[in-house]
Amino acid sequence: MGKKGVHILSLDEGTTSARAVIFNEETEILGLSRQKIDQIYPHPGWVEQNPIQIWDAQVKSLKKALRETRLSPDSITAIGVTNQRETTILWDKSSARPVYNAIVWQCRRTSDIVEKMKEEYGRLFKEKTGLTPDSYFSGPKIKWLLENVQTLRSRALRGEILFGTVDSYIIYRLTGGLTHVTDYSNASRTMLFNIHRLEWDEELLELLGIPEQILPEPRPSSEILGYTDPKVFGAQVPIAGDIGDQQAALFGQTAFKKGMTKCTYGTGNFLLMNTGTEPCRSRDLLTTIAWGLKGEVNYALEGSAFITGAAVQWLKNSLRTIKDVSETDLQASSLHSNEGVYFVPAFTGLGAPYWDQYARGMIIGLTQGTRRAHISRATLEAVAYITRDIAEAMEGESGASIEALRVDGGATRNDFLMQFQSDILGKKVMCSSKLETTALGAAYVAGLAVDFWSSREELTGMWKAAKIYEPKMDAKERERLCEAWKSAVERSRGWAKTATGIGWAGNPIIPAT
């Protein structure tokens, strides 16, 4: 058995899996366990998950990680939690049972609600929250639930219902229902949180008709938030870190200096630039809270692409043009060029910098000579083009030049994609030696709260690059490719309205559960 209190446990609840990762003081991974989480698609554009499955997957992963490393629960010094951010759960306060499925961040059912918000109050929401109104965020999802699930609003007003993003739900259940909190980074993704005053905004809550009593208490990302219930975890251990997954990856990349930028390649692509202790106002990107640490709040500019890695999975699971995602590297590399084939993976609309809820996926440039290799190459190239679009907007709005892009996530193992990313950016791309960067960021904020690590300077010294890619593409070729990409994007925009003549169909009233 491990010695008492000498490890940090990260609980990393992502869009497709729940992970538990155990780190030692040298940030070596001693144990890692992963449990799959299913996606539910009840209607076109709707994406849900079962919160009970989310919880069960997280508990199974943490127990398996401890068991396989032969560590006892009391060998854990502290726990850090990180999560898919905007995904929305409402649950019964007394039983912790969900009252409806989790509405996932990708879900577009609130598009009509958001369009009205944009027209009437878009500037107000942007000014207070730093966010461009979009179905992506939690606030419209809460409004939809309160309006469409029978008796839910009256129960919420009676104080019987609680809301949380996945971090809040996990922490609530880990503490046996004693702690209902979130951190500033997750709160800043709800479209309800005033990022300047660090509190829920009464005016915005009133506009959306959301009672404040259902919301968690906003807290810094790095401090003791509560203690695990021994009946659940096997020991009373401090939960000392809570941070949204993309902010966790920024922290895990030790991007502590203003201007440092990272991109995480997962279900979607997420670029964050550290903008320091003052928020950077932005038109096409999101101003968000990076973390709250030791009495100081850091902000970030963020650009989110909703579907990137998920498009590669689509090739495997739906089109079945590949048996394993690793095949895309070989297929793409087998061609000298894309031969004019472009893929815009706007399955759930386009995020930054376009913010088009009605864009839809499109493959263009097909000929009788088009093969599976062209589709794979177009998919990988799309991931890089979207990243460049966001990086360009980020440099323009921050006034800072991205010297090098620090990257993490499973797709960083794809040599074709990483080289093409460097080529199309015209910048150095640095792959972190730690693939579990998000979990590491959650471990860092928890460890700093309990003095497991002494300072951010200590953490900076432990960062290493596994591989560095340098741009090789001619500048004229780069611009030619990007111009064709942007032309393809324009053809995909507004397609959901063009094809159907309307936005989304009316929503059914759903019985209470």
Q: Which of 28, 20, 22 is nearest to 7 (CA)?
A: 22
The whole-angstrom separation of Cα 374 and Cα 208 is 45
What separation in angstroms does the CA of 408 have from each of 198, 270, 385, 414, 437? 29, 10, 17, 11, 7
User: How many CB atoms lie under 10 A from the CB of residue 202?
Assistant: 11
Torsion angle (degrees, nearest 10) of CA 430, 10, 348, 161 = -150
Cα 191 from Cα 212, distance rounded (Å): 13
Indicate the pLDDT class of residue 2, thresholds 50, 70 and 90.
very low
Domains of the chain: 7-247 (3.30.420.40)
The two tokens of residue 504 are: 């989304």
Q: Give CA angle at 168 (164, 171), nearest 5°.
A: 155
How confident is the model over 421-457, as pLDDT tens digits?
A: 999 999 999 999 888 899 999 999 999 999 999 999 9
Task: Give the residue from 177, 200, 175 showing the smallest Cα distance to 187.
Answer: 200
Q: Chain-centre distance of CA 491, in angstroms?
A: 27
Q: Give the whole-angstrom CA distance, residue 381 versus residue 374.
A: 10
Q: Given this model, what pLDDT does residue 377 score?
A: 97
List beta partners, residue 298: 291
Parallel, antiparallel, or unpaired for β 29-36 and 17-23?
A: antiparallel
Q: What is the pLDDT of residues 15-56, one digit of tens each?
A: 889 999 999 999 999 999 999 999 999 998 899 999 999 999
Quick one: pLDDT band at residue 363, thresholds 50, 70, 90?
Answer: very high
Cα 249 to Cα 300: distance, rounded to the nearest angstrom: 12
H-run or E-run covering 264: strand 261-265
pLDDT of 512 above 70: no
Q: How far is C-alpha 310 from the chain's CA centre?
A: 13
Q: In the predicted model, what is the mean pLDDT of residues 384-404?
A: 93
How far apart (Å, rounded) are the C-alpha atoms in residues 226 and 237?
8
Q: Is the pLDDT of residue 497 over 90?
A: no
pLDDT of 506 reads: 43
For the stretch 442-464, what's the b/e string if a residue is b when 16 or more beta carbons lie within 10 angstroms of its beta carbon?
bbbbbbbbbebbeebeebeeebe
pLDDT at 501: 57
pLDDT at 348: 84
109, 264 Cβ separation under 8 angstroms: no
Residue 421 sits at φ, ψ, to 5 deg, of -60, -45
Helical spans, DSSP H, in 372-474: 372-398, 415-425, 437-449, 456-460
DSSP characters over 90-150: EEETTT--BSS-EE-TT--TTHHHHHHHHHHHHHHHHHHHS----TTSHHHHHHHHHHHBT
Average pLDDT of the chain, as a whole number? 93
What number is the average pLDDT over the span 295-313? 92
- Distance from C-alpha of 486 to C-alpha of 216, rounded to nearest angstrom: 41
